[in-house]
Structure 1
Amino acid sequence: MDLRVIGYFIDIVDSGGFAKASEKIHITQPALSKAIIGLEHELDLTLIERGKRGTQLKLTSAGEVVYRHGIELLAGRHRMLNELASQRDLTSGELRLGLAPLGSAELFAPVIAKFKDSYPKIEMNLFVRGGVEQTLALQKGEIELATGIISFDKEFDGIRIHEDPMVVVLPKNNLLAHEASLQLCQISDIAQIMFEHDFALYGQVFDACEKAGFTPKNITRVSHPDFGIALVAAGAGTMVLPKLIAERHSVSGVVHVPLKSSELYWELSLYWQKGKQLSFAAQAMLNMVKERFGTHKQSAET
């Protein structure tokens, strides 16, 4: 089916007849009539009721269906051409990027600023979400790229961006505050400040504690590291954090003791759905991230 002829048909309907459509799109009435007759023959349906010259144009029920779907077809063609144009020169388009609540400000702010400077006409939409929400947003197509802690599998590809050791944040007056380093089991009897369940780091720390032989007790859940560290300073417990985050939100009254653990570390990644074609804007962001962090692609096979 020729979309050009579908366009003629819509112009005829919108203009109220062949004569006005002919003037609008600069095609002779006989040529328009021939094109519509050809469309009717192709569909084996009558689209326009033929009456006396000068009478108001009237569509058949089939014509109404073709008109309604024709508008959708042409709109889809328009969106396709716009997207292709944005791929060529990035003068239009959109980047939908999901950012993990932890570490994104410290690591991604410079990249985002550079992207906006390089491609000022690309609309950038940033969504700060926990790990569970990031995955769901990718699956629903609400975002194209996401940052977070993830093990690549058959569903997701990505690149590793930053790896950071973990530290135990303690009040300065705690007996363990002067240790050179700590094992997780050494804080088993201390109340824990931990993130909400939708933070990937929560599950990572909780699982590591169980592997160390204990289940965290008397847990206070927070959604922001600065509040968690403030609770530590007030004596409400201890908190296990990536060194970068602990230093970024540090306050007087706490110390950061390195954690001895070969399994527990913080590794932030940029990832996307495997097999899904990234937009040119998303690919441009990916290239910038690779350039800044010197990363390479990781997947379930690597």
Structure 2
Amino acid sequence: MEFRQLRALVEVVRQGGFSPAAKVVFATQSAVSKAVKQLEDELGVPLLNRIGHRVTLTSAGEAVFRRATKLLADRDDLLTELDEVRGLQRGSLRLGLPPVGSNTLFAPVFVRFRQRYPGIDVQLLEEHGSDALEARLRSGSVELAATLLPAPADFDWQLVRREPLVALLPALHPLARQGSVTLSALRDTPFVLFGDGFSLQRIVLDACHAAGFEPHIAARSTQISFMVQLVGAGLGVAFFPRMIALQRGSANVRAVRLTEPKLEWAMSLAWRRDAYLSAAARAWLAMVAEVHGPAR
């Protein structure tokens, strides 16, 4: 049993097929298929159900996949520890970042980090939504991931920034000129939300349920610019951290403060509680605090 075989199996499952997995592991599709077949032959059981272009795990495959992700994560941790011997002159840091707020919060950190530690290879993985990032963190694909609080119990975390949520309304909406608005006052306005897997969507929907109503969702998207365009065209109301809403201001939209005090966007950097945190990761966390100051 070899790590390359385990990596092939894990990525086939994660990516949903042999062809996309081959792109992730930088191999040919036939090489990935051969690695999985060798693993099946060695173990003496089929690991995948192959249905056309789709693959699913067999019962044995589920057990092997679970163990394989842990073994690969432990291997990555070991390699990270070995990088410590070389100090911060060499090594790598794998970061998972979401599409919301990363350009504002982490681009300045990345620039300064590269200037101070040019020998560290910072590998950025962008995922749509906190759920996907948390899965990557648990599997060891990334060492640090930006995620919204509250963080899962198996993670440690460092707060980066808190921002109140604001309602982004069409300029001609009756409430667009108000200084503030309650979530309940927007119950008859269609919502433009982020897609499934985004913590920000859950925050808004949970607040609506607490207020006693189920919103009408006009659209879901993973693209901030597209959501702002939909709001500007009069489709409905979207909800963003204040700093992002102010950056996206235009003549067609208005950002209005929400009165609910608990409706906030609290971005953190999280890591597995049982994982070894590399010197590069600790340096990144220190750099975040240096650039943004102590978050409260």
Q: Deviations over 1:232-262 (max 9, x none)?
A: 0001111111111111222321111111011
The aligned amino acid for 1:106 is: T
Q: Does 1:187 align with 2:179?
A: no
Which residue does 1:280 correspond to in 2? Answer: 279
Can you list the C-alpha shifts for 1:149-170, whole angstroms capped at 9, x where unaligned? 0313530111111111111111
CA distance in 2 between counterparts of 1:223 and 1:207 reads 19
Secondary structure of the corresponding residue to residue 179 of structure 1: coil
Match of 1:33 in 2: none
Whichever residue aligns with residue 267 of structure 2, its letter is: L
- Structure with a larger share of its residues in strand: 2
How far is the alpha carbon of 1:293 from its aligned partner? 2.9
Which segments of 5 or more consecutive residues in structure 1 lack a partner in the other structure? 1-78
Distance 2:83 2:98 in 1: 31
Tell me if the contact between 1:96 and 1:145 (Cα under 8 Å) persists in the aligned partners: yes
Map 1:128-143 to 2 at 5 A: 128-129=126-127, 130-143=129-142
Please state whether the residue corresponding to 1:165 is helix, strand or coil: strand
RMSD: 2.3
The ranges of structure 1 where at least 4 consecutive aligned residues each deviate by more than 6 angstroms after the TM superposition are: 79-82
Q: Deviations over 1:62-86 (max 9, x none)?
A: xxxxxxxxxxxxxxxxx96895354
Cα distance in 1, alignment partners of residues 270 and 280 from structure 2:
15
How far off is 1:228 after superposition?
0.5
Aligned mates of 2:83, 2:240 — CA distance in 1: 44
Matches within 5 A, 1:1-302: 83-84=81-82, 86-129=84-127, 130-295=129-294
Q: What secondary structure is seen at the aligned counterpart in 1 of 2:89?
A: coil
Q: Show CA shifts across 1:163-205 (max 9, x none).
A: 1111111111111111110000000001110000111101111
Partner Cα distance (1:82, 1:148) in 2: 22
CA distance 1:212–1:270, shift in 2 (3 Å) = same
Separation (CA, whole Å) in 2 of partners of 1:161 and 1:244: 14
Deviates more, 1:150-159 or 1:80-89: 80-89
**TM-score, length-scaled by structure 2:** 0.70
Structure 1 Cα separation of the partners of residues 167 and 293 of structure 2: 29
Q: How many residues align?
A: 221
Radius of gyration: which is bigger?
1
2: CA distance, partners of 1:127 / 1:247: 26
Q: What is the alpha-carbon distance in structure 2 between the residues aligned to residue 277 and residue 94 of structure 1?
A: 14
- What fraction of aligned residue pairs are identical, expressed as a percent? 37
Asked if 2 retains the 8 angstrom alpha-carbon contact of 1:171 and 1:254, the reply is yes
Structure 2: distance between partners of 1:290 and 1:280: 15
Report the Cα offset of residue 218 of structure 1. 3.4
Alignment check: 8 A CA contact 2:208 2:214 kept: yes
**Aligned AA for 1:108?**
F
* Mapped partners of 1:177, 1:190: distance in 2: 12
Opposite residue 212 of structure 1, the aligned amino acid is A
Aligned counterparts of 1:82 and 1:137: Cα–Cα separation in 2: 17
Q: Distance in 2 between matches of 1:124 and 1:244?
A: 26
